Structure 1
């Protein structure tokens, strides 16, 4: 053994495999940018097959003799545990007193798992704000691409930027047509979530084109370059046989690793299996075009159908901010609809985006406790307020006529009301084999029930708002 020469380590490609000789005290050189290091004693090459990958985060080798040589068939006497990261960042077991090293600071959770970097488009909008806060809450390095602030920007928008920045969010100000800027940002992240509003749905083509150029949002196959490195007998890699063994283990692990992906701006109805009155149908056709563009590009994706935004629709139907004596019922009031609180939409979505089970799948948010009819909803609200409301019915025929006579975007809103609360379209289909339901995927997550949300409305009723189309 001899003292390590500064800078003597070797990095092999993007797999970040590093080797370093030990000094007289058995200490490997620690590079200045190393975040986590685990070392083990010298192991001769002929004994490399005795090394085992115990699981995706541990490596062990057998008992060593008085010369420091591993003895095959003996009990395990050393285990190295390292953060759970993508296989391209897992350190190889290496010759000449190697170690595991991650050469950049990664954000880790309490279990030592690396967190994906998330880029959010539309992060300063209504749902986007919830999405950014959920990403921060779950420990992800978070980036927001937002339109530039101007002298005309509202004080609320300016304060939101400041709030995000104080929480560690990286805000990139720009326009969706700034192709090179977006490509540069995409190369720094793992997951892309679009929360752009309806008027900008087709602008997501710019995001898709940039993802294709950035070329780092890919499927879950082990990178070819890594396989090539693993199979090459090079200084720092050990035997070719062992390298292949490591490669096979990494392939097995990589299948379960959260793939990078793109989540386009969906979050409402499941437009591929439902049809609507013309005004709303025209809006959803734009979303279908984006879906087809994503699929044609080969970019890994997840589609999210969150159905009715809970706070928005309950506010629209019940008008808790007003002192009124009546409520409007569309149709008979008996058709049911699924509601999801916006905060829950965001918290579920960040989990979905990191879940390998949801890659190239549709995830639907349809919690059983939150599927109610207008009549059930009004009855619940009457019990909480202690008031009885006069019911004003709008027949289906009248609502259909409004979709034909009202100007845009009011005709779209009438179409939505017809589909959701008269026809009950959002509960009139079964989940397919490629569909997943959020509350079933994450039974440990305690979502907000409609009953609980109405309790919030009693204390702090939301301000009236209308969706843009």
Structure 2
């Protein structure tokens, strides 16, 4: 581990996941810079978020992904660049790669990933095309010779747990629960703050350089049936389980509009195909975050569900 903490630049730091990465970077003692388009936004919620960054010691740097001069300038001040850009800007990370190449000083780049392992997925459309953009960014990063870490984290807890694993539900089940497939395939749920913590811990860790960092907390790796049983134990209720066979899931994906078809295609990959858990990590290509950092006290699914009681 490096004795001097690296300077971390977060691009996309005000987004859903980015704010957790920024917070983790500051909390773990890294000089942290958040690239923002506007340091004094009119939106009260965004202004409050930026103030919380500043209160934590984060530097707000005005810049733009689409202004190469400001981007290169920002990158030159960083040792590590972490991108948490949303899906609509995945392809535009080539601008960030170009800036990193031009600056020539970055020791590690984390492109925006944090979901399925895009190099091993057999996800169906439309998810295939969306994740294909992340594959292209991986190849561009490697072609540029930039040291990297790819973070694979399963389901964000904030998306997968409030509805107890029911992808299209607005909350916990009241009488019945919809289950894709047979409900026995293991999936992974990770609290967003923990994703931030593991990501930042890997920034200075040579064991994670040019590797995929898999965040698969053992206590958070469970099947949909196990998740529902846990919720039943907590609530004292029993829910009818409506199992949707794979053929019906695939038909629903084909017939549904955006974004429902995207949500379901990812759900099919995770809940039916088992793509978050159905493999052994190749040590030549990947590392397990919970093995690298056993002292991290991550939020368990059991603990997280208590928020909804």
TM-score under structure 2 normalisation? 0.93
Are residue 393 (structure 1) and residue 243 (structure 2) matched?
A: yes
- Whole-angstrom CA distance in 2 between matches of 1:323 and 1:449: 20
- Which residue matches 1:361? 211
Alignment of 1:145 onto 2:35 = yes
Deviation of 1:276 (Å): 1.0
Query: How far 1:154 sits from its partner (Å)?
Result: 3.0
Measured in 2, the distance between the counterparts of 1:434 and 1:262 equals 16
Correspondence 1:274 to 2:121: yes
| C-alpha separation in 1, matches of 2:256 and 2:173 | 27
State the alpha-carbon separation in 2 of the partners of residues 185 and 271 from structure 1. 28
- SS of the aligned residue for 1:408 comes to coil
Query: TM-score normalised to the size of structure 1?
Result: 0.62
Report whether the alignment pairs 1:115 with 2:11.
no
| Unaligned stretches of 5+ residues in structure 1 | 1-83, 86-112, 218-259, 459-469
What residue is the counterpart of 1:55 in the other structure? none
Equivalent-residue separation in structure 2 for 1:393 and 1:345 (angstroms):
30
Q: How far apart, CA to CA, are the structure 1 residues paired with 2:179 and 2:95?
A: 41
Alignment correspondent of 2:133? 286
Q: CA deviation at 1:393?
A: 2.6
Name which one, 1 or 2, has greater alpha-carbon Rg: 1
349-358 vs 163-172, which moves further: 163-172
In the alignment, the residues of structure 2 paired with residue 362 and residue 416 of structure 1 have an alpha-carbon distance, to the nearest angstrom, of 19
Match of 1:200 among 80, 86, 89: 89
Deviation at 1:326, TM superposition (A): 2.3
Matched, 1:340 2:190: yes
RMSD: 1.9
Runs of 5+ in structure 2 lacking a partner? none
1:314 aligns with 2:161: yes
Query: Of residues 272, 278, 281 in structure 2, which corresponds to 1:431?
Result: 281
Q: CA deviation at 1:421?
A: 0.8
Question: In the aligned structure 1, how far is the partner of 2:39 from the partner of 2:268?
Answer: 38
Partner of 1:425, secondary structure, is coil
Residue 121 of structure 2 aligns to a residue in which SS? Answer: coil
Cα separation, 2, equivalents of 1:446 and 1:167? 21
Q: CA deviation at 1:362?
A: 1.2
Return the alpha-carbon distance in structure 2 between the equivalents of residues 411 and 131 of structure 1.
28
The total of aligned residue pairs comes to 305
Structure 1 residue 193 displacement after superposition: 0.2
| Greater than 3 Å deviation, 4+ residue runs | 318-323
**Contact 1:263–1:301, Cα closer than 8 Å, also in 2:** yes
Q: Which residue of 1 aligns with 2:234?
A: 384
Is contact 1:320–1:457 with CA below 8 Å preserved after alignment?
Answer: no
CA distance in 2, matches of 1:273, 1:422: 15
Residues in 2 aligned to 1:397 and 1:320: alpha-carbon distance in whole angstroms: 24
Query: Per-residue deviation at 1:150?
Result: 7.9
